[in-house]
Amino acid sequence: GDSVTQMEGPVTLSEEAFLTINCTYTATGYPSLFWYVQYPGEGLQLLLKATKADDKGSNKGFEATYRKETTSFHLEKGSVQVSDSAVYFCALRMNTNAGKSTFGDGTTLTVKP
Amino acid sequence: DTGVSQDPRHKITKRGQNVTFRCDPISEHNRLYWYRQTLGQGPEFLTYFQNEAQLEKSRLLSDRFSAERPKGSFSTLEIQRTEQGDSAMYLCASSSQGDGTEAFFGQGTRLTVV
């Protein structure tokens, strides 16, 4: 079945550091890929998405590129802020499979001032 | 549009009791999903509706769980004879059909079975 593997956390960085959270996937077909963020006490919010190979999703300084050859969708940000502290989830969605999403286990990011 | 809303936000119940959660999706979305999330894990798919039809159920959804979506609008998830292992965050999401569309999530209902 479909699966998503995320880099294990927690990740602790100083403000303005570079962030990478690794995500790889297994899917029978061509999924759309997503990063969701969950701030403390809040629901999942879509951060960015990419729907086909070589697409780059970007939002709020975060970027991720859909790499079909390595089945990866790594999340990056050049300079993190304290307000980026949250749990980040990588997910895939197969359009041919009722559109249900398969999630990774999440990576907790803490940014210290 | 206020997004996906879930009610209640928190529920504490005694083992063996029945509980029901409600989800109001984004109004123009015809797809509705229920997920369960436990601490330290990502959401796990439970069930899916397209309009009023329940089209798929996960093996995680035991016979004690039932979901409905009458008239293709709001949905309810009922858990009968709750067990401590049912303690989790129950998330509802909705989406439109189409390639690459994302699912929009509600804030969830946190269930604690004591």
Q: Which of B7, B102, B104 is the mutation pick for testing A, counting most A CBs within 10 A?
A: B102
Q: Compute the distance between CA of residue A97 and CA of residue B71 in angstroms, rounded to an integer.
A: 23
Size of interface A-B (CB pairs under 8 A): 65
pLDDT in the model for residue A99: 74
What's the whole-number mean pLDDT along residues B3-12?
A: 96
pLDDT in the model for residue B105: 93
pLDDT in the model for residue B101: 78
Range with top average pLDDT, A30-39, A87-96, B12-21? B12-21
CB contact under 8 A, A95 and B56: no
pLDDT in the model for residue A1: 84
Is B100's pLDDT higher than 80? no
For B30-87, what is each residue's pLDDT tens digit?
A: 999 999 999 888 999 999 999 999 988 998 888 999 999 998 899 999 999 999 999 9
- Sheet harboring A75-77: ordered strands across? A19-21, A75-77, A62-65, A56-59
CB contact under 8 A, B40 and A104: no
For A9-27, what is each residue's pLDDT tens digit?
A: 899 999 999 999 999 999 9
For A61-110, what is each residue's pLDDT tens digit?
A: 999 999 999 999 999 999 999 999 999 999 998 876 567 889 999 999 99
Is B1's pLDDT higher than 60? no
Inter-residue contact A77 to A14 (CB < 8 Å) = no
CB contact under 8 A, B43 and A49: no
DSSP sequence for A31-63: -EEEEEEE-TTS-EEEEEEE-STT-EEEETTEE
| Burial class of residue A28, CB neighbours in 10 A (0-12, 13-18, 19+) | exposed
Report residue A33's pLDDT band, with 50, 70 and 90 as the boundaries. Answer: very high
Is A53's pLDDT higher than 90? yes
pLDDT in the model for residue A96: 67
pLDDT in the model for residue A42: 83
What's the whole-number mean pLDDT along residues A37-60?
A: 92
Report the alpha-carbon angle B88-B91-B96, nearest 5.
160
Interface contact B97, partner A, CB < 8 A: yes
pLDDT in the model for residue A97: 59
pLDDT in the model for residue A98: 67
Sequence-ordered list of residues with C-beta below 8 angstroms from that of A16, at least 6 positions apart, any chain: A79, A80, A81
